[in-house]
Chain A
Amino acid sequence: MNEQLAIRARGLTKQFGSIRAVNHLDLDVPRASIYGFLGPNGSGKSTTIRLLCGLLTPTEGSANVLGIEIPRDSKLLKPNIGYMTQKFSLFGDMTVLENLQFMSEIYSYPKGERTSRIDELLWKYDLTQQRDQFADTMSGGQKQRLALASAVLHKPKLLLLDEPTSAVDPQSRRDFWANLFRLAEAGTTILVSTHYMDEAERCHRLAILDHGTKVADGTPRDLQNNTGMTIIEVLAKDPYRAQVIIDEIPVVASVTQLGVRLRVLVPDTVDDALDIVTKALDRKNVPAELHTAEATLEDVFVAVTMKPEQLAA
């Protein structure tokens, strides 16, 4: 086992009846980094996280998490991981303090240090004011901070976060990510699933999942540099007409409208992509400004999740 890897999975597969939720997934997650799972709903993000913490038994394949064989020894793994569920799962009819006390008892946190650890968390996650408030009555952002505080209370080496920011406002999301970076710097490995591009961009490394299959992985920069596509940005007065025309060009893989602009993806095997698109628009007398652009993560996502027949076209 590589000392630098927190998670190493090979051929991880999970079948639910006739649906294959996770399909032969290989995964290498380096220690003390933030690793993101990016994918639409139903792409197998949650299932993968549940497989990795031993909540689900894989149909095929195996994983080594923090040096522990999964699913065989998943019991040994529990004290070393923190898990934040997609849905708020702490006890709504208990106060913030009571929830944290309960978690400290359940993880058998050293008795003498419980109070100081809880105080520290309340302060760090800005919950001191809410100390005696029932969890149910808190805002989304506060709930999320409580959930994170509970998940890290026992100082786990690995933190698994299943769409942690789906119910909070942008400011809370920024604060939340600041907390994650702080944790990663302190040596915690963090696995986080998301369907927000801006969040994915913040991860050290990233895997893009689509229909249970990993379609790409690497650092966000690597992924952006290796889309295999030429990106053309089109500024047109009549973007709708322009889109219809560009869509009919055989080599174009995808056209997406972003406000008045269009983002056109052409496989980089086509040499004169900019030329082809410009000419097509000229022929139909649609005035437009064209230039090539850097790939964003969204472009990466569109490129890698494209169906094979679209690429062949």
Chain B
Amino acid sequence: MAIMRKEVRQMRRDRLTFAMIFGMPLMQILLFGYAINMDVRNLTTAVADESNTHLSREFVARLEQTQVTKIRYRVNTAAELEELMRAGEISVGVAIPKDFDRRVIDDNRTAVHILVDGSDPTIGGIVDALRNMPLAFDTTPVQQKHDLIEVRPYYNPERRTPINVIPGLMGVILTMTMMLFTAVSIVRERERGNLELLINTPVSSAELMIGKVMPYIAIGLVQLALIVWAGDLLFDVPVRGSIIDLYVAASLFIAANLALGLFISTAVKTQFQAMQMTFFLIMPSILLSGFVFPFEGMPVVAQYLGEALPITHFIRLTRGIMLREAGLVELSGALIYLGTFSIIAITAAALRFSKRLD
């Protein structure tokens, strides 16, 4: 179709857009894959060992072995630890009192004080991990208690962050690029004056809309392939379910975003407004979709908002297909939502876009 060919041709000429199509997914995957690491490791730590006995030194060595902490400073008093923390030099401070050896044996007294910078929520979360560290020294055979509850993390036994992040990241990358492309597409023609010419031709609104959406679906699928490939290569993120299922789900999701973008494009007046609208929608897509925070943990209102976003459903689909080996039948609810959303959005866009200027 004429509109489609024209879009592809113009897109190929627009080097920046072309670079964005491929550059953005790679860039994001590297950023998110490496930087967003929710396993807490290598926290800068200072130790004030006032006891300085064989036992205390062994304790410090064990602390370092956990790899949670990385000891940077050794100071003399607990007061100095506080200073360092206030200055932001350390995240964890370990104070070992003079009578450490005696306190270890005494059940009623705490042996070690650990100061944690609570201003960072993820660092605060390690308090529990450190508290449970057994003080199993050869002089004091501490009884190894059996856990009452055993937790087995299914699907991601090593609890690696990329495994959780990459399937969600697919949704974020596709939302950003797809929505932005179509959101600008019609306004751009309006700004350049092309639209006045187009609406005077026999081309119908539906033809125009579909012609603008189709090429981008192909691009979205290429982006998806890129993310799957990079995820596997760099972070060992598996696709346990069917890759075809993944593509089917993604096609629907891409269509939903493009349709939403088109709708934005018919509603705004300038390209700048289109971008603002897009970013306005991208923020909740990242925050409320379950990409960053677990969906179940959110307040009910936020959950409702999240449910309305296509990306929430898509993340369920990708996590299901890629990690839990689920099939499309089991995930049909999300698929139906995405399909319905696309149809409604593209219809709304075609209706809003009247072939008139007034």
The residues of A with any CB-CB pair to B shorter than 8 Å are 50, 53-57, 75, 78-79, 81, 83, 85, 87-94, 98, 102-103, 105-108, 150
Contact = CB atoms under 8 A, between A and B. Distances in A.
B9 A94 contact: yes
B193 interface: yes
Contacts of B193: 85, 87-89
Given A78-B202, A105-B2, A106-B202, A54 B356 contact: yes
A90 B197 contact: yes
B194 A90 contact: yes
A225 B317 CA distance: 80
A91 B198 CA distance: 11
B199 interface: yes
A58 to B, nearest CB: 10
12 contacts: A55-B356, A56-B358, A83-B197, A89-B196, A91-B6, A91-B194, A92-B192, A93-B13, A102-B2, A106-B198, A106-B201, A107-B202
A108 B2 CA distance: 9
A89 B6 contact: no
A78 B192 contact: no
Contacts of B200: 53, 55, 78, 81, 83
Given A53-B200, A94-B6, 5 more contacts: A55-B200, A75-B355, A78-B201, A85-B193, A88-B193
A212 B200 CA distance: 23
B10 interface: yes
B153 to A, nearest CB: 52
B14 A93 contact: yes
Given A92-B192, A94-B6, A94-B9, A85 B357 contact: no
Interface string B125-142: 000000000000000000
Interface in B177-204: 192-203
Interface in B1-55: 2-3, 5-6, 9-10, 13-14
Interface in B239-273: none
Of the candidates A55, A102, A106, the one having the most CB atoms from chain B within 10 angstroms of its own CB is A106
Nearest to B10: A93
Contacts of A50: 357
B14 A85 contact: no
Contacts of A89: 192-197
